[in-house]
Copies of this chain bind each other. A is one copy, B any other.
Amino acid sequence: MTASNTQDRILILGAGAIGSFYGAALQAGGADVSVVCRSDYDAVRANGVAIDSSALGARTLRPAQVLRSAADYQGGPPAFLIVSVKVVEGTDRAALIRDAIGPGTAIVLIENGVEIEAELAAEFPDHELISALAFVQVSRTAPGRVKHFAFGDLHFGNYPSGLSDKARRLAALLEAGGVRAVTTEDVVTARWQKAVWNAVFNPVSVLGNALDTDDILNAAGGKEFVRRAMGEVCAVAAACGHPLPEGLADQFITATAKAPAYKTSMALDYEHGRPMEVEVVLGNAVRAAQREGVAAPALETLYALMKMVERKAAKRNEAAAPR
């Protein structure tokens, strides 16, 4: 175990693909990284998490502490608590976080979606909140094994705005560990910007039963529909005080059409029967539209359809559950 600076003690909640990928980078950058993990505890305790990455080479996250519960964390509160659990309906993030922080701990949320911070900011007013968006394609392939396919940038800044010394320190650790950190003083706008793509392509890909980007954009009227729905997200963002660049939808459409056809992460979750981040990615955008009085009928339709898909999946899982 390497000696480490107190200010760089990092605890990660949820050592899934995302948490392990950035944890390994932070460790490579010199931080003291521990993880709380449940299902994969034995494997991670024994061998850490092996990251298989053609871009970064093979690396292994060997946590300083592998914990079943954040309450077992030794040595005082962490400087950073990274929350990288997937936010699906029923997750009580506040309860998970409460056990894992102490005086001075900055809470780092790595999460998709919009309007995901306010609740935690209200719950933990004395803690700095760093809001982060992962642009990375990673997947947990087995207990203690993660495959890194592409990308890796982490975009972040303080919520509701600004960029603290701690946030800058986090960026330095990541960069030292080989991952690009893109810091911003306006992370909320960055979230809306990413949501323009995510709130449209993700549900649409699921609704066609795992469509890829070619099916979506090259169907009759496909581009026009995507542009209209993205325009709704932009209108909601603007109404929330976060106007996005002109022409953003067209930029996204052009870039997506140029890239080889691929399926969204939500389509992959759907195909594998995993929970989908419908609420943070789409539901929050729809609720913001309703709150701000912005018409978003395409998004509302996508959302209504996704709730039907979720209901069907829940019924199937219930039927398949052991009794």
Contacts and interface: CB of A to CB of B under 8 A. Distances in A.
Interface of A: 204, 207-209, 211, 215-216, 218-222, 224-225, 229, 297-298, 300-305, 307-312, 315
Given A215-B311, A219-B307, 10 more contacts: A204-B308, A207-B208, A209-B312, A211-B308, A218-B311, A221-B307, A229-B301, A297-B298, A298-B300, A298-B301
Given A297-B298, A298-B297, A225 B304 contact: yes
Contacts of A302: 301
Q: Is the interface of A mostly helix, strand, loop or mixed?
A: helix
Nearest to A212: B312
24 contacts: A207-B207, A208-B309, A211-B308, A211-B309, A211-B312, A215-B308, A215-B311, A218-B311, A219-B304, A219-B307, A219-B311, A220-B307, A221-B303, A221-B304, A221-B307, A222-B311, A224-B304, A225-B305, A297-B297, A297-B301, A298-B300, A298-B301, A301-B301, A301-B302
Identical chains bound together, number: 2
Contacts of A211: 308-309, 312
A283 to B, nearest CB: 9
Contact of A308 (B208, B303, B307): B208
Contacts of A308: 204, 208, 211, 215-216, 219, 222
Nearest to A286: B221
B208 A312 contact: yes
A224 B301 CA distance: 11
Contacts of A220: 307, 311
A222 B310 CA distance: 12
Nearest to A309: B208
A216 B221 CA distance: 25
Contact of A225 (B209, B221, B225, B300): B300
Contacts of A312: 208-209, 211, 215
A68 to B, nearest CB: 34
Contacts of A304: 219, 221-222, 224-225
Nearest to A299: B301
Nearest to A229: B301
Contacts of A209: 209, 309, 312
A259 to B, nearest CB: 17
B298 A222 contact: no
Residue among A207, A219, A222, A308 having the largest count of chain B Cβ atoms under 10 Å: A308
A225 B301 contact: yes
A285 to B, nearest CB: 14
Contacts of A219: 304, 307-308, 310-311
A229 to B, nearest CB: 8
A298 B211 CA distance: 20
A114 to B, nearest CB: 19
Nearest to A298: B301
Most buried by B among A208, A211, A221: A208
